[in-house]
Amino acid sequence: MFRGFKERAIEPEMMDDFSKGGIELQKALQHLRIINRIFGASAPTLYGVQRLWNEANKPRHLSILDIGSGSGDVNRRILKWADKNQIDLKITLVDITEEACEEARQFFHNEPRVEVIRSDLFELSKNCADLVTGTQFVHHFAADDLQKVIVRMLKASRIGIVVNDIHRHWIPWTAVWLTSRIISNNQYILNDAPLSVAKGFRLEDWKNLEKALGELNMFYSWRPLFRYVVIIGKHKI
């Protein structure tokens, strides 16, 4: 982790061990919502959704599938954006763990526009949603798997995809390390929150992915606070 952050950390996160979980994981997802608010995790995803929506001529009906959603809290801001723009929006939250799905059901229990499904990226049907988003999702995969993950997300979307993930840098690592210890004593949070930064991305990682994907119209940009957004519209492929 302390290799100058030039390379992505390869250590697995505790959340990627599906043999564990239970109440400790549910608590971690609750604490992660606090961290997401502090570091503005929803903003890059909304930026990408807005951009693809504009490029698709602002459809009045829109469906979003959020893969690896956790409790799906970043989508609350997207729902408010849809209200403001009078968009008939449906959001499907998909996660592989029952703990995340249960947290999402409770978090959105009064929101009829949100559906929660327990599933895996590679089980998704083709063209099952207009947009597929992944917030803090793709850093869970090794570099050799990134191309496969992006292609699978594209197959599941009709309009395009938005990837929002963490900038690998010592400043956000330090900020997340400190914040996680101030707000939580949960083992998932203490281990995974700073590790997720070390497993994050730098500009050259997206350039390498762009080369591997070939002719796709891939846009990527640094966004506050220490994040990258990647946007690929299928209508331009």
Quick one: pLDDT at residue 209? 94
For the cut 50, the answer to whether the pLDDT of residue 1 exceeds it is no
Alpha helices in 56-169 (DSSP H): 75-84, 98-107, 143-156
- Report the DSSP pairing between strands 88-95 and 129-135: unpaired
Question: What share of residues in the chain are helix, strand, coil (percent, to 5)?
Answer: 50, 20, 30
| pLDDT tens track for 74-93 | 999 999 999 999 999 999 99
Q: How far apart are CA 134 and CA 136, in angstroms?
A: 6
| pLDDT tens track for 11-58 | 999 999 988 889 999 999 999 999 999 999 999 999 999 999 999 999
Quick one: pLDDT at residue 3? 60
Take residue 83 and report the two structure tokens written for it.
């209200």
- The structural domains of the chain, with segments of one domain joined by +, span 42-167+202-236
For the cut 70, the answer to whether the pLDDT of residue 237 exceeds it is no
Band the pLDDT of 120: cuts 50, 70, 90: very high
| pLDDT tens track for 160-218 | 999 999 999 999 999 999 999 999 999 999 999 999 999 999 999 999 999 999 878 89
CATH number of 42-167+202-236: 3.40.50.150
Buried b (16+ CB within 10 A) or exposed e, 158-179: ebbbbbbbbbbbeebbebbeeb
| pLDDT tens track for 123-166 | 999 999 999 999 999 999 999 999 999 999 999 999 999 999 99
Quick one: pLDDT at residue 2? 47
Quick one: pLDDT at residue 171? 96
Q: How far apart are CA 129 and CA 127, in angstroms?
A: 6
Q: How far apart are CA 71 and CA 106, in angstroms?
A: 9
Pair 227, 212: CB distance under 8 Å: no
Q: How far apart are CA 221 and CA 123, in angstroms?
A: 29
Whether the bond between 225 and the residue before it is cis, its omega within 30 degrees of 0, is yes
- Looking at the DSSP bridge assignments, the partners of residue 41 are none
